Structure 1
Amino acid sequence: MSDSVLNVANVTVVRSGNAILQDVSLTVHAGEHWALLGPNGAGKTTLLKMLGAFEHPTTGTVEVLGHRLGRVDMRALRAGIGHVDPRHRPNGPLTVREIVLTGATNTAALVPRWQPTPDQLAEADRLIDLLGLTHRRDADWEILSQGQRGRTLIARALMPKPRLLLLDEPATGLDLAGREQLLERVDLLQRTHPDLASVLVTHHLEDLPPGTTHAMLLRDGRALAAGPVDEVITTPNISYCFDHPVRILRDERRWSVRPAQPQLN
């Protein structure tokens, strides 16, 4: 049996006569952690929406968790996917624990008269601890920092125990401390959930978790490169993808970008 959780084959997406994605293919296996990289308008978000079973391709095929889009109830399929959208807002005043519990029902608010089981309560508390939020468990959403909100949403997405986790620019708007706390916890998550596959969208190499295993570079709706991260995130590839000459450095499993020519003091 294949351990692939995503199979995208020769996908093209056309909207209002414009090709947003063109002949893109991607296969993600259990335990792999992919980064979708590219400049604004490259097609990253459109691809992520298909991986999350929110959109259909114009041509080509997309299989998510073994089900082909167009032949499956999209809403039912989304229940098995952990989708982290930093723009998500809870419906009404909720605490961190309550927001995480809404992941069990895939709703923006607690369902009236619904009571979580003891196992669900225990899982919510485990995830809250895993994401470094135990001290904020009973805090209201409105008083959380942006970084704490992001980690809360990751815990929420993990409540149904998905096989696939999708992260849409999770470090957007975070200060240095918030970003580092987020990446530290995502790294821990990846190490403690060996069968979980993930796909993260960003256009900043500094936002990549150290456990990233694979990457795809998108430019103008086309995949320029895809495969093991050390083969894809290279100085020539990134310079071409973003149409700007840079040098790519990696130290202690983290990436950084420098000017193409060393600056003289």
Structure 2
Amino acid sequence: MIIDVKNVCWQRDETTILDGINWQVREGEHWCLVGLNGSGKTSLLNIISGYTWPTKGEVSVLDNLYGTVDLREVRKSIGWVSTSLMERLYEHETAFRIVLSGREATIGLYTAPAQEDVQYAEKLLETFGCAYLKNRPYSALSQGERQKVLIARALMARPRLLILDEPCTGLDLLSREQLLSMIEQIASQPDGPALVYVTHHIEEILPCFSHTLLLKAGKVYRAGETSHVLTQEELSRFFGVSIDIRRAQGRAWISLGEETAVR
């Protein structure tokens, strides 16, 4: 079991952010986590990564029951790419040093890397078409290039679980599709990590994502195989408006139904 969340609740002050979350991610599955702003997606990620403790419930990640293990050790097997992380990285660091820092999951590089780590970092940059960025400072990278470097950094420690928190935010169409192609490449690796991809854009859900969880107002609205979850009827109920779906290249592209659009 990659993720096993049982009856998890989380309250902040008097507000319930997550309410009775049950979710299991098994070996060989790649999941999309979909929800509108304020649905509790980031809070759930923080709990899975061990940075927030639930008010109630049980969490196990990679067969480690939280509360009985050293979370610092568990996190070494979890890669996490998020906008919040991007904001914390040193702007003057080169892309190569940022990728290398993923080996110890530190912000910055504080120890001399082993030769095998140097070679693996170079391989990651080359694999994702970023070798030309090696010596460029982070501040000189485009948004799309930054995201690719962050994903390479997250893979540096060879994680068993890779969480991608809205990685396409702020990207133009071409950069988004390039990044999605990179993610599909990761998902196709037989020894690659389990993926959890977070978004509120349905069209970003690639065919490699076998399962989808719909999160609404802090509760699991629906979870299961993507083909059963991303239906016109299900999404119309989820968003509370009439939705039309067009399918192309194994992806679902949605738009408002005619009646809703007229309003």
TM-score normalized by structure 1? 0.92
Query: How far apart in 2 are the matches of 1:49 and 1:132?
Result: 30
Return closer, same or farther for 1:195/1:134 CA change in 2, 3 Å cut-off: closer
For 1:180, the aligned partner's letter is: E
Q: 1:190 aligns with which of 187, 192, 200?
A: 187
Summarize the alignment of residues 110-259 of structure 1 with structure 2, pairs less than 5 Å apart. Answer: 110-111=109-110, 114-259=111-256
- Alpha-carbon shift at residue 226 of structure 1 (Å): 0.4
- Alpha-carbon shift at residue 242 of structure 1 (Å): 1.9
* Percent sequence identity over aligned pairs: 37
Query: How far apart in 2 are the matches of 1:193 and 1:86?
Result: 28
For 1:225, the aligned partner's letter is: R
Q: 1:44 aligns with which of 34, 41, 45?
A: 41
In structure 1, runs of 5+ residues without a counterpart are none
Partner in structure 1 of residue 62 of structure 2: 65
Greater shift after overlay, 160-169 or 29-38? 29-38
Partner in structure 1 of residue 107 of structure 2: 108
For 1:253, the aligned partner's letter is: G
- Alpha-carbon shift at residue 86 of structure 1 (Å): 2.3
Query: How far apart in 2 are the matches of 1:57 and 1:16?
Result: 13
For 1:62, the aligned partner's letter is: V
Asked if structure 2 preserves the Cα contact closer than 8 Å seen for 1:218 and 1:241, the reply is no
- Alpha-carbon shift at residue 249 of structure 1 (Å): 2.5
Query: How far apart in 2 are the matches of 1:14 and 1:181?
Result: 38
Partner in structure 1 of residue 95 of structure 2: 96
- Alpha-carbon shift at residue 194 of structure 1 (Å): 4.3
Query: How far apart in 2 are the matches of 1:232 and 1:160?
Result: 33
Q: Deviations over 1:73-128 (max 9, x none)?
A: 222221110011123232351111111000012111110xx221121111111211
Asked if structure 2 preserves the Cα contact closer than 8 Å seen for 1:81 and 1:162, the reply is yes
Query: How far apart in 1 are the matches of 2:27 and 2:192?
Result: 5
Query: How far apart in 1 are the matches of 2:181 and 2:195?
Result: 15
Query: How far apart in 1 are the matches of 2:230 and 2:51?
Result: 28
Query: How far apart in 1 are the matches of 2:126 and 2:26?
Result: 27
Query: How far apart in 2 are the matches of 1:248 and 1:68?
Result: 40
Partner in structure 1 of residue 83 of structure 2: 86
Q: Secondary structure at the match of 1:94?
A: coil
TM-score normalized by structure 2? 0.93
Query: How far apart in 2 are the matches of 1:51 and 1:247?
Result: 33
For 1:99, the aligned partner's letter is: I
Query: How far apart in 2 are the matches of 1:206 and 1:68?
Result: 34
- Alpha-carbon shift at residue 193 of structure 1 (Å): 4.3
- Alpha-carbon shift at residue 228 of structure 1 (Å): 0.7
Query: How far apart in 1 are the matches of 2:19 and 2:143?
Result: 35
Query: How far apart in 2 are the matches of 1:234 and 1:212?
Result: 15
Query: How far apart in 1 are the matches of 2:104 and 2:150?
Result: 14
Query: How far apart in 2 are the matches of 1:212 and 1:148?
Result: 23
Asked if structure 1 preserves the Cα contact closer than 8 Å seen for 2:186 and 2:192, the reply is no
- Alpha-carbon shift at residue 31 of structure 1 (Å): 2.5
Query: How far apart in 2 are the matches of 1:94 and 1:195?
Result: 27
Q: Secondary structure at the match of 2:106?
A: coil
Q: 1:77 aligns with which of 71, 74, 81?
A: 74
Greater shift after overlay, 141-150 or 255-264? 255-264
Query: How far apart in 1 are the matches of 2:190 and 2:114?
Result: 23
Q: Deviations over 1:47-93 (max 9, x none)?
A: 11112121121111110111112222222221110011123232351
